[in-house]
Amino acid sequence: MGSEAKEEVAVVFTYGTLKKGFHNHRVLEELMATGEAAFLGRCRTSIKYPLVCGPYRVPFLLDLPGSGRLVSGELYSVTSERALSLLDELEGTSRGHYQRRPIEVVELVDGEEEEEEDGEEGRKRRKTRRAEAYYADGGYAMEMWDKCGRMGHGSYTAEVARGYVKRGDRPPNLSFLHHIRCFLSSSSSS
């Protein structure tokens, strides 16, 4: 029908507000409408990572492999540098909010439990895939883990996200990095 498969620029693991049903998913919907992204399926990390909420219930995946829980999410193929740049801008990679780095994920089939632990046999038969994820910037990741009591989530759900404040509804006079610093220095974690 004249439509050729576009070359994949990156495979992105989404675990928070970019997932279906959350506020920033609209960005991926727009990219899918222009053919610059495609949904590949549900997945989870192949090993445990901390997934915590910071200021405004914004989710942060911390690059502390082996800590936390298996984290569920969605996998997207990104087929243009422009689309990847838009995602990087949304995630604030040039402003010290997040860093896009490699991660290994396990593809899930419909009806499969997202946090199900695999035994040795399960690991052998599952399809693993290399992707990229937006991790909390390393400059504050350990502080964020400590601030959250070293307790993480297996999935960013509607319940976990309760209280999320959209970017446009946050105080405009401070950068998000400043909000992160204020959150880390406050006496409560909510």
Instruction: Give the separation between CA 154 and CA 152, rounded to whole angstroms.
Output: 7
Rounded to a whole number of angstroms, the distance between the first and last alpha carbons of the chain is 52
| CB-based contacts of 90, cutoff 8 Å, min separation 6 | 18, 24, 27
Inter-residue contact 153 to 115 (CB < 8 Å): no
Bridge-based pairing state of the strands 37-45 and 72-78? antiparallel
For the annotated catalytic residues, the residue numbers are: 91
**DSSP codes, 53-114:** E-GGG-EEE-S-TTSSB--EEEEEEE--HHHHHHHHHHTTGGGTSEEEEEEEEEE--TT--T
Q: Which residues pair with 43 in a beta bridge?
A: 73, 107
C-alpha 189/C-alpha 52 separation (Å) is 10
